Amino acid sequence: MQNVLNGIPLWWYLVVSSALFCIGLYGVLARKNAIALLMGVELMLNAANINLLAFWRYLAPASSGGLAFAAFVLVIAAAEAAVGLALVISVYRVTRSIDPEKLDQMKL
Amino acid sequence: MNFINDLLKIIGDFIAGIIQSILGFSPFLADLVTMGLAAVILCTFAALSFMGLTYVERKVVARIQDRVGPNQAGPFGLLQPIADGIKMFTKEDTTPATADRWVYNLAPLVIAIFALTTYAVLPFAPGVVGTNLNVGVFYIIAIGSGSIVAIIMAGWGSNNKYALLGAFRTVAQLVGYEVPMLLNVLPVVMLTGSMSLIDIVNRQTTLDGNPGIPFIVFFPLSALIFLISGIAETARSPFDLLEAESEIVAGFHVEYSGMKFALFFLGEYVNALAVAFVFSTLFLGGYAGPILPPYVWLLLKAAAVFFVFMWLRGTLPRIRVDQMHNMNWKFFVPVSILHLVVVMALMKLFVTSPAAAQANGGILVTPIVQAAILFTASALVLIGSLAIAARRARIMRLQEEALVAQRRAENIAAVSA
Amino acid sequence: MTIQQAIFILLALVILGSAIFVVTTRNLFRAALMMMLTFFGVAGLFVLLEIGLFAVAQVLIYIGAISILIIFAVMLTRGMQGMVPRNSQATAAAVVAGIIFFVLLLLFGPLRTTVDVARWPVISLIAGNASPRDVGGIQWTPAGQPIPPVPETYIADFGRALVDLNQYLLPFLLIAFLVDVVLAGAIFVARQRRPAEVIEDRQRQAEEAAEEAEAMRQAGMKPDAAALPEGAVASTADH
C-alpha cells in the first residue's frame, strides 16, 4: 500500500526535499556572507517546490492547486532574490562589507 | 507514401527497426539507442553546418564589403574551414596561471552543450523531431539562457579584467533581450493554443482544410522584434558588444586559444543557426511548402534568415551599450506589451471556430479575415511606434548636436581668451 | 531497480552533493555555479514527475534569472571573496539543521510509506459529513491505488485556474502586484545616487546635527560628539 509512480515512492521525493531544505537552512544560519545566505534561502524555496509538486503529482494531478502554489513560490523566489541582492549591493557600496554580523548599526 | 518527402522519417524508422529486431533490444532500450543516434546525427549536422557557415559568412560579408574573401585553400577557398580547423587543433592550449581552472575549462563545454540542446525540439519534417515537448517554445527560450551561464563562467574563470567586462555586458544584454523574445512568442502561442512547435507548424500549414498562413503575416511586429532580439541573444553583429575587439579586446574569450576557442565559436554559430531555425518554425511556417520536400523547405527558410544575419553583420556598425539598452527597455519591451494587449483583445473579439464563438462570444470570421485584421493591427502598432521612436530619436539627436556645438563654442572662447 | 529509480537516485545525489558544496565552499562564485547544478537536478526531478512545464520554468527562472542575478552580485562584491565561510554559530546551525532533518525524516521518511488524504486531521475536520476524498472539489488519489496520469491539458487548466475568480485569481493578482512593487523597490534601493545628491544629503545631515547641537546647548546640555556624523561634509570621494 504505497504511493508509487514509475517505481518511485512518494517518500523518496519528500526525503530529498527535506535534506535539501535542511542544507539550505544550515546555509542561512551558518554562512558569513549575505549573498551565501540568499543562496541558502533559494535552496530552501526549491525544496518547498519539490514537495509541492510531488504532492500534487501523487495526490491530486487532476486539480491545479499544486501547480499554482509552486508557481507562486517561483515568483516569490525571484522577487526575494531581486530585492535581497539590491540590498546587498547597496549595503556593500556604503560599508564595503556584506558580513551580516558586522552590520549591527542602525545608521550607516 | 511519397518517398522523397518522408525520406528522413523512413530512414529513422529503418534504423529503429534494425536496432529492435536484428540487435534484439527491448523496445525501451531500442528507443534509447535510436534517440542517442539521432542526437549524435543532429550534433554532427550542427557542427558541420558550423564549418560551412563560417565559410559562407566570410564569403558573403566579403562580397558585401567589396572584397573577395577566402580564396586560397582549395577551389574558391572551399577548404578554408578545414584549414581553420587544423590551425585550431594544432594551437597550444593554454590556461592562465591565475585562472579558476575548473570554471575556465568547463565554460566552452557548457556553451556547446546548451547550443546543441536547442535542436532537440525542432521539427525538421512531419514526424521528424527529437521530442515533441508540449512546452517546446518555452524550452527553447529557457535553454537559450544557458549560454549566459557559460559566458559568465568564461569571463570570471579567466581572471582577466577585459573578460570580466565582457561577462558583465553579456549578463545585461542577454538577460534583457530575453524579455522581448518571450513577449513576442506569446501572440503565436496564443493563436495556436499550444506551446508545442509541431502544433505551431501545423497551425500554419493547414487551417480547417485550407492552406494555412505563416504567422509573419499575422504578427509582422512580433516577427521583426523576435528576429532582432534573436540576433542580440546570440550576440552577433551589430550586437556583438560582449566581444567587441576594439573596446574590450575580445571580451569573455580573450584568454582562450585552440580548441576551447573553437568551441566558443561553434556555440555562437550553432546558436545563431538555431535562432534561424526557430524563427522559420515560428513565423515562416516551418517545414511547410509546396513541391519541394519539407526538410529542404526548412533548410531554405533557415538559410534565408541566416542570410539576413550575415547581411546585417556586413552592413551595420556596432551599436553603443546605452543605445542597446535604451532600444530594449524603452522601445522593444513597451511596444511588445502594447502589441500583446491589442492582439489579445482582437483574438478574443474575432474568432474563427464556431465552438469558441458559442462559448465566449465574439464575432465569427474566416481565417483569412482574422489574419487581415491581426495584420492590420500589428502593422499599425509597428508603424505608430516606429514613428514615435523616430521623432524622439530626432529630438535627442538635435539636443546632442546642440550640446556639442555649445561645448565647441565654449572651447573656442576659452582658447582665444 | 527500474531505470527511473536509477535516474532518481543519481539526481538526488547531484542535488544534495552540490547543495552541500554550496553551503560549505569558500569560493562564492563556485558556490553560485554549484547552486545552478542543484537547480538543474531539481528540474530533472520535475521531469521525472512528468511536469515538463515546471522543469522548463525552473531552468528559465532559477538558472536563467536568479542564479545569474546572484552571480552578478558576487561579481559586484569582489572584495568579499575568500573570507571565512562560517560564522560563530555554525556548529549550532548544523545541530539545528540536523535535528530538523531528523524530525522531517520521521514525518516523511520510510517509516511512513503512504500518504492518505483521508487520514489528514485537517482534511477530515473540513470534510465533516462529506467524504474526505472530495474536499475542495479535488479528486485525491487514495493510497495504494495507481496514480492517474497528468491530464493532457494540464497547462491550459493551470492557466485557467490562475484567472478563475473561484480559484486563484486573487493570489495571482497579488503576486503580480508584488512583482511590480519589487521591481520598483529593487531599482530604487540599488540605484547609484548621483554625487550631487550625496553632497546634498550630507549637507542636510550636517545642518541637522548642528541644529541639534545648538538646541542642546540652549537647553544647557553638553553637545554629544557622536551626534555629528563622521566627516559629514568632507568625505564624498567614495561615491
Query: What is the average pLDDT score of chain C?
Result: 78
For residue B26, give the amino acid letter: S
Strand partners, B207: B210
The boundaries of the domain holding residue B108 are: 91-416
Each domain of chain C, given as residue ranges in start order, spans: 1-81, 93-144
* Closest Cβ opposite residue C68 in set B134, B152, B164: B152
Chain B residues 234-293 with CB within 8 Å of chain C:
none
Chain B residues 175-234 with CB within 8 Å of chain C:
175, 178, 193, 195
Best to test chain C binding among B101, B140, B156, B159 (most C CBs inside 10 Å):
B156
Q: How far apart are CA B402 and CA B69, in angstroms?
A: 42
Q: Which CATH number fits domain C1-81: 1.20.1580.10, 1.10.10.10, 3.40.640.10, 1.20.120.1200?
A: 1.20.120.1200
Chain C residues with CB-CB distance to B102 below 8 A: 30
Closest-CA distance, C135 to chain B, in angstroms, reads 29
Q: For residue B144, give the nearest of C65, A32, A77 by alpha carbon.
A: C65
| pLDDT score of B348 | 81
Supply the DSSP symbol for C226: G
Q: What per-residue string of b and e applies to B24-62 under the rule 16 or more CB within 10 Å gives b? A: eeeeeebeebbeeebeeebbeebeebbbebbbbbbbbbb
Chain B residues 45-104 with CB within 8 Å of chain C:
100, 102-103
Q: For residue A44, give the nearest of A66, A14, A68, A19 by alpha carbon.
A: A19
CB contact under 8 A, C77 and A89: yes
Best to test chain C binding among A1, A21, A38, A57 (most C CBs inside 10 Å):
A57
Banded model confidence at residue C17, pLDDT cuts 50, 70, 90:
very high
Q: Is residue B85 part of a domain?
A: no
Q: How far apart are CA C222 and CA B140, in angstroms?
A: 69
Banded model confidence at residue C128, pLDDT cuts 50, 70, 90:
low
Banded model confidence at residue C12, pLDDT cuts 50, 70, 90:
very high
φ/ψ of B350, rounded to 5, equals -110, 105
B139 and B69 co-located in one domain: no
Helix (H) or strand (E) holding A12: helix A10-30
| pLDDT score of B209 | 60
Mean per-residue pLDDT for C182-202? Answer: 77
pLDDT digits (tens, 9 = 90+) for B246-269: 666 667 777 787 788 888 888 888
**CB-based contact B152:B104 (threshold 8 Å):** no
CB contact under 8 A, C3 and B195: no
B63 and B99 co-located in one domain: no
Closest-CA distance, C127 to chain A, in angstroms, reads 16
Q: For residue A33, give the nearest of C38, C77, C185 by alpha carbon.
A: C77
CB contact under 8 A, C52 and B103: no
Supply the DSSP symbol for B160: -
| pLDDT score of C232 | 45
CB contact under 8 A, C52 and B135: yes
CB contact under 8 A, A88 and C77: yes
Best to test chain C binding among A5, A17, A67 (most C CBs inside 10 Å):
A67
* pLDDT-flagged residues of chain B (< 50): 1
| pLDDT score of B208 | 59
B63 vs A104, higher pLDDT: B63
pLDDT digits (tens, 9 = 90+) for C103-124: 888 877 666 666 666 666 666 6
The pairing of beta strand A4-5 with beta strand A8-9: antiparallel
B58 and B136 co-located in one domain: no
Q: How far apart are CA C237 and CA C239, in angstroms?
A: 5
φ/ψ of B214, rounded to 5, equals -60, 150
Mean per-residue pLDDT for A51-59? Answer: 87
CB contact under 8 A, C68 and B175: yes
Strand partners, B363: B350
B65 and B97 co-located in one domain: no
Count the helix, strand and coil residues of chain C and give each as a percent rounded to the nearest 5.
Answer: 70, 0, 30
Model ipTM value:
0.88
Closest-CA distance, A66 to chain C, in angstroms, reads 10
Q: Output the pTM of the full model.
A: 0.83
Interface partners of B (3+ CB pairs, < 8 Å)? C
Peptide bond into B367 cis (omega under 30): no
B165 and B56 co-located in one domain: no
CB pairs under 8 A between B and C: 66
Domain spanning A4-95 has what CATH number? 1.10.287.3510
A54 vs B3, higher pLDDT: A54
CA atoms within 13 A on the CB side of B360: 11
CB contact under 8 A, C38 and A43: yes
* Closest Cβ opposite residue C101 in set A18, A40, A89: A18
CB contact under 8 A, C27 and B100: yes
B63 and B210 co-located in one domain: no
3-class DSSP state of B103: helix
* Closest Cβ opposite residue C52 in set B100, B134, B164: B134
Best to test chain C binding among B102, B109, B149, B153 (most C CBs inside 10 Å):
B149
B293 and B234 co-located in one domain: yes
Q: How far apart are CA B159 and CA C78, in angstroms?
A: 12
**CB-based contact B344:B357 (threshold 8 Å):** no
Q: Which range in A27-36, C39-48, C130-139 is most confidently predicted, on average pLDDT?
A: C39-48
Chain B residues with CB-CB distance to C183 below 8 A: none
Q: Which residue of A has its CA nearest to C60?
A: A74
Interface partners of A (3+ CB pairs, < 8 Å)? C
CB contact under 8 A, A25 and C96: yes
B209 and B259 co-located in one domain: yes
pLDDT digits (tens, 9 = 90+) for B14-69: 777 777 777 666 777 777 777 788 788 888 888 788 888 888 888 888 888 888 87
pLDDT digits (tens, 9 = 90+) for B369-393: 878 888 888 888 888 988 988 898 8
| pLDDT score of A21 | 92
CB contact under 8 A, B146 and C63: yes
Closest-CA distance, C221 to chain A, in angstroms, reads 23
Per-residue pLDDT at C229 exceeds 90: no
Per-residue pLDDT at C76 exceeds 90: no
Q: Which residue of B has its CA nearest to C58?
A: B142
Per-residue pLDDT at C38 exceeds 90: yes
Q: How far is CA B134 from CA B193, B213, B317, C33, C223, in A?
A: 11, 22, 39, 29, 72
Q: Which residue of C has its CA nearest to A64?
A: C158
Q: How far apart are CA C118 and CA C133, in angstroms?
A: 6
Q: Which residue of C has its CA nearest to B132?
A: C52
Q: In chain B, how many domains are there?
A: 2
Q: How far apart are CA C58 and CA B393, in angstroms?
A: 39
**pLDDT-above-90 percentage for chain B:** 4
Can you list the positions of beta strands (E) in B177-236? 206-207, 210-211
